[in-house]
Amino acid sequence: MLKDGARRLAGEAVHRAYALIRRLGEISPASPGGKRFHHLGEGVCIAFPQGAIFGEPWISVGAHTLVGTHVSISAGFVPGLDLGPDVIVKIGESCSIGRGSHIVGHQSIVIGDDVFTGPYVYITDQNHTYAQIDAPIGRQWPENSAVEIGDGCWLGTGSIILPGTKLGRNVAVAGGAVVRGEFPDNCVIAGVPAKMVRRYDSEEGWLPPLKNKPQLITAEELALLSVEGMRGLQELQDKLREENEADRARREQAG
């Protein structure tokens, strides 16, 4: 049995080695893995360990997009296929793809700029068919239908985006929703199958009305996020905690 001191040192060594492995295993525009993609923009990072990634020549990722660990991104059925001249999976700029998510493209998946997902989101443009009742479903030719996700959308944890889906700008998808069909800009969708549960009207505002007043990130807060390393994030976290404590004190005084 290792003594406490030796165990601590061994543990620190393991964690430092794993942190180094994760850094070295990241896919970026300058890494060997990054050069296989159709396009990886400046600042793209696909975290290590990755999920299944193949069909890279038909995958494009815009600048400053972050892809979490264990994310699978694929074009085509298997590696090595010639999929033609067009990009099949296009992810825009400044997106964040949550860990464990799957983006599975065969015809066309277009994800706009500033799209954020929770973990374990599934997006595909292909589905099995079942029309032939005398043949196993897995032996019937699948059907493709293009997917488009507009700028600024948020896809909640575990949501599923099925073939033929088209989301407008700034659509919020609830966690666990199963989405198929077309939805307009500035709405909230939820459920299985997903339906619109809130929308924005140019004259009446949000319907049904929002309970809480929306808050925007200020220029000062954006500047903190741009500070190199963890310092900016820590300063922002401290600022948010102070605001929460002040808000709680005001409520206690009013009560």
Chain position carrying tokens 């599975």: 104
Closest alpha carbon to 114 in 160, 161, 171, 75: 171
Diameter over CA atoms, the chain: 71
Catalytic residue among 15, 70, 102, 128: 128
Cβ-contact 79, 98 below 8 angstroms: no
96: alpha, beta or left? (left if phi > 0; alpha if psi -120 to 50): beta
Torsion of CA 92, 175, 238, 44, to 10 degrees: -20
- Cα separation of 160 and 164, whole Å? 12
Residue 128 is a catalytic residue? yes
Just list the catalytic residues. Answer: 128
